[in-house]
Amino acid sequence: MSEGHDDHGHGKQSFISKYIFSYDHKMIAKQYLTLVMFMAVVGGSLAMLVRLQLGWPGQHAQFWETLFPAGMAQGVMTPEFYVMLFTMHGTIMVFFVLSLGPVSGFGNFLIPLQVGARDMAFPFLNMMSFWTALPGAIIILISFFVEGGAAASGWTAYPPLSAIRSAIPGSAMGQTLWIVGMIFFIASFTMGGLNFVVTILNLRTKGLKMMRLPLTTWAQFLVGILGLLAFPALAAGSILLLFDRGLGTSFYLPAGIFIGDTLFPHSGGSPLLWQHLFWFLGHPEVYIIMLPALGFTSDIISTFTRRPIFGYRSMVYAIVAIAMLSFVVWGHHMFVSGMSPFLGTAFTMTTLCIAVPSAVKVFNWLATLWMAKIQFTTPMLFALGIVSFFVTGGLTGIFLGTNVVDIQLHDTYFVVAHFHFIMAGAGLFGLLAAVYYWFPKMFGRHMNERAGKVHFWFTFIAYYGVFFPMHYLGISGMMRRIYDPNTYDYLKPFQNVNTFISISAFILGLAQVIFLANYFWSMFKGKKVESENPWHANTLEWSTPIHPGHGNWPGDIPEVYRWPYDYQHPDEEGDHAPQWQPPAKVKAAK
């Protein structure tokens, strides 16, 4: 498969084939990461505007009108603009940042390097997958500029709100573009998933058994499977929604819908169908975002504790279990939807099952720290942050997974807090940890450590400052997606909490400027990497040259002799024995 890509010369390719329509998985990964950073800035800025409104509801400074003439005319944000903001924040962050970054970005970069392949199994498909994701992202961005603005039915796009154009301004052209953008995204992700699975199954180098794969690659393998099985449901669902919007079908629309002064002629559909289709994707999607982050965490923690990851086997079983269970828990998003109460019972049981493998992971990480020699590099700090978020968000999941307790907490800020820790927090910190950790392999330079640490401290503390207090708002009964909680008398006492959250959010947002500056500065001016394995890590990507060419290894692909976690091996010299290092003679003689 990979014979055709042995060309590791640099100057031979044209600019276009090297940087634009590149087949090289490493370049495609960088393209993805650049796109992700841009989308993250957009998505993050939308969140800042949301927090501006919630922190100080009512009149804002006049100058906002110059930025948003209609959305914030006279300095007052309109409610429809607010709904659009959080809808697009969710859409962009979930799909175009936290899925594209850790999966399409780092999955692409790492899988061939970690399995010992010269490229992905299908390099052309890989290139296509980026060039399908990009139009999707552009369409999503264009939707801000159409009549009525971007989609405004939540990232979950529940019909009829998303299906009937007059239901909210964003449901006009904006929602159509949202669907089209999502279909592009899904197509891209499916191509990526196929590549991941095939590459990991077929292109592993000699000696690299599945149970010798780094946990990062294990996670990407499962993510590939999840994407392949789950996303088609959303693709089908979205196309049906498009039909309902444009062709007069009634997949999601029952008889008797009356909006404005119009009685719509649809009949026979059910909005509940969309919820089933959406969450059949939606829940695996959460793990698509989380699993890579958990994989990065395991590998980074192992490297910087100079310890083997504890319970490698149970770690693998845990993520396999989590991935499989993720297909049978979608109903916990629908406990109060009106579906059969029997399903509520079943989904509670399956959902709480996930707590078991999740807890196993946490205990394994704790055991890895035991007797460690922790080096607090920036990627390590972020990885430790993920563990803390995973514990916090995992425990609140028990509340929401229990249907009885979910009745009160459903669609409140408790949910917002929960998923921002377990999914968004782990995903974001995973992405950041991965950037800091693999930056030397991507660019041959280090990111600035000092700036990285400053970035970590602001980000970590502000992240807790933003999202932990949301639990209090949630148990106090504050609903999600409301433009002004002060409308309700019982929520008025909590305005100070909202203001505190908003201030924390602005700190969190500003801290990311440090990261972006560090990233681009270090790309050209960062400290040069002196050896191909600057972290003294064990996984195969660190056996490539400082600047790996297309094809990754100049000579033969190294053979793998061991698992990737031989740190402090009693029979080996030095504190680590990389996967490509043959077993010690002593041991071999025995």
Partner 1 sequence: MAENIQATRDAKHGMALAVTLWAIMLVSVAFFFKYDLPELASDRQSQDTLYYVILGLTGVAYIVIQSLFAFYIWKYRHRDDAEGSYWHESHKMEVAWTIATAVILVPIVFAGLVIWDDVKAAPPEDVFTIEAVGAQFQWDIRYPGPDGQFGSWRPELYSLENYLGIDPDDAAGNDDIHLINQMVLPIDQPVRILLRSKDVQHAFFLPHFRVKQDLMPGIMTSVWFTPTKIGEYEIACAELCGLGHYRMRAFLSIRSQADYDTWLAEQSQAN
Partner 2 sequence: MKKIVLIAFFALALVAACGGGDGEEASAPAAVAAAPAFDPATAGAMTGTVTLEGEAPEMSTIQMSADPNCARLHSETVTNEFVVVGEGGTLANAFVYIKSGIEGNFPPPSEPVVLNQEGCLYSPHVMGIQVGQTLQVVNSDETLHNIHAMPKNNKEFNIGQPIKGLKTEKTFDNVEIMVPFKCDVHKWMNSYAGVLDHPYFAVTGVDGSFNIPDLPPGDYVVEVWHERLGTQEMNITVGEKETVEANFAFSGE
Please, which of residues 271-330 interact with partner 1 by CB under 8 A?
271-272, 305-314
Q: 421-460: which residues touch partner 1 (CB under 8 A)?
A: 453, 457, 460
User: Pick from 191, 387, 505, 557: which binds partner 1 (CB under 8 A)?
Assistant: 387
Residue 32 to residue 28: CA distance in whole angstroms: 6
Helix 25-55 and helix 79-91: axis angle, to 10°?
Answer: 150
Window 339-378: contact mask with partner 1 (x via CB under 8 A): --x--xx--xx--x--xx--xx-xxx-xxxxxxxxxxxx-
Size of residue set near partner 1 by CB under 8 A: 115
Shortest Cβ distance from residue 169 to partner 1 (Å)?
Answer: 7
Between the CA of residue 321 and those of 79, 358, 580, what are the distances in Å? 42, 9, 30
Residues that bind partner 2 (CB under 8 A): 38, 41-42, 44-46, 48-49, 58-59, 67-74, 76-81, 141, 144-150, 165-166, 168-169, 172, 260-262, 483-484, 509-510, 513, 516
SS3 129: helix
Q: Considering the rule CB under 8 A, would residue 263 count as an interface residue with partner 1?
A: yes
Given a contact cutoff of 8 angstroms between Cβ atoms, the answer to whether 458 and 508 are in contact is yes
Residue 489 touching partner 1 (CB under 8 A): yes
For partner 2, the closer CB: 39 or 133: 39
Distance from C-alpha of 450 to C-alpha of 372, rounded to nearest angstrom: 23
- Interaction between residue 384 and partner 1 (CB under 8 A): yes
Supply φ then ψ for residue 412, to 5 degrees: -110, 180
- 3-class DSSP assignment, residue 194: helix
Three-state DSSP at 50 gives: helix
- Residue 153 binds: one of partner 1, partner 2, none (C-beta under 5 to 8 A by kind): partner 1
> Tokens standing for 450?
């000092």
Q: Which residue, 126 or 298, is less far from partner 1 as judged by CB? A: 298
Closest CA to 482 of 467, 495, 469: 495
The whole-angstrom separation of Cα 310 and Cα 316 is 11
State which of residues 251, 483, 519, 553 lies at the interface with partner 1 (CB under 8 A): 483
List the one residue from 468, 506, 546, 584 that touches partner 1 (CB under 8 A): 468
Cβ count within 10 A of residue 256: 9
Give the Cα separation of 139 and 476 in Å (integer): 39
Beta bridge partners of 445: 528
Contacted entry of partner 1, partner 2, none for residue 388, CB cut-off 5 to 8 Å set by kind: partner 1
> Where in 172-231 is the site for partner 1 (CB under 8 A)?
none
Nearest to 397, CA basis, from 342, 351, 455: 351
Give residue 12's Cα distance to chain centre: 35
The least CB distance from residue 369 to partner 2, in Å, is 36
The option from partner 1, partner 2, none interacting with 207 (CB < 5 to 8 A, set by class) reads none
Is 243 in contact with 266 (CB distance < 8 Å)?
A: no
Among partner 1, partner 2, none, the one that 48 touches (CB under a kind-dependent 5 to 8 A) is partner 2
Interaction partner, residue 371 (partner 1, partner 2, none; CB < 5-8 Å by kind): partner 1
Say if CB 443 and CB 390 are below 8 A apart. no
Residue from 11, 69, 256, 555 that binds partner 1 (CB under 8 A)?
Answer: 256
Binding segment toward partner 1, per CB under 8 A, in 186-194, 221-229, 285-293, 333-341:
333-341
